[in-house]
Amino acid sequence: MTIVEPDGHSGGLRNGVPQRQQLHALLDMGRTQLDRMFPHLTRDLVADGASLAAGEEIEMYTAGARKFGVPGNELVGVTRELLEGHVRRRVSAEKHVTTVRSKACGLEFTGPRISGILYREPHSGVVRELQADAVVDAMGRSSRAHAAHRSSPVPRDRGTVRHAHRRRALPLGALPTASIREAESAARWTVRRR
């Protein structure tokens, strides 16, 4: 796996992340999944200054009403900078991960298939190609994947850009009081009212 990242894994401040020093709440399921992928991450975050709260210590409010605490739930109060720093160090320590300190500037195509990316070296400005079996664009709102696709040789009816997110519509004035659980098939979601 190759990560193309303009800031590398230096652990320093990143451009374009104005909320990096604001407090973020890492909720229980996110914390659980990160600890599963990166053992003892919560422990290490707390050792570096994050706050850990559990059960009734956690006070959450929706429209001014306090939600009930859940026994066993744990929440980590952490800056994005601290959380990203820990995750970046662990990812970059993996044997199969390399980092190219650069910025992607285009997609490379072989026929109708994306076969890699183009990236610009930061100091020389030279554009290089990085071949890949799969390309994941994790740039969020600053993504240029749509523009790259429009300028590609891929016919419009053959290529698509997919977004990996789900939206839920609630009636006007409704409060999000449902618990959402992933169905066994992982293709559908069910909603259970509390």
Task: List all residues 6 or more positions away from 174 whose beta carbon is below 8 Å from its beta carbon.
Answer: none
Q: Are residues 136 and 108 in the same domain?
A: yes
Is there a single domain that holds both residue 27 and residue 62?
yes
Total number of domains constituting the chain:
2
Does 97 reside within a domain? no
Q: Does residue 167 fall inside a structural domain?
A: no
Q: Clarify whether residues 6 and 84 are in a common domain.
A: yes
Domain stops at, among 68, 92, 116: 92
- Give a yes or no: residue 121 inside a domain: yes
The model scores a pTM over 0.85: no
Residue 84 domain-assigned?
A: yes
pLDDT in tens, 2-26: 988 887 555 555 566 666 677 888 9
Distance CA 169, CA 167 (A): 7
49 band by pLDDT with thresholds 50, 70 and 90: very high
Let me know the angle formed at the C-alpha of 177 by 163 and 62, rounded to the nearest 5 degrees: 95
Residues 36, 108, single domain; the answer is no
Residue 161: the pLDDT is 61
Kindly report which listed range (62-71, 124-133, 164-173) carries the lowest average pLDDT score.
164-173
- Parent domain of 127: 102-150
- Tokens (6 digits) for 21: 């020093």
Nearest to 45 by CA among 22, 78, 21: 78
Do 82 and 55 lie in one domain? The reply is yes
Same domain, 26 and 64: yes
- Mean pLDDT, residues 176-182 taken together: 50
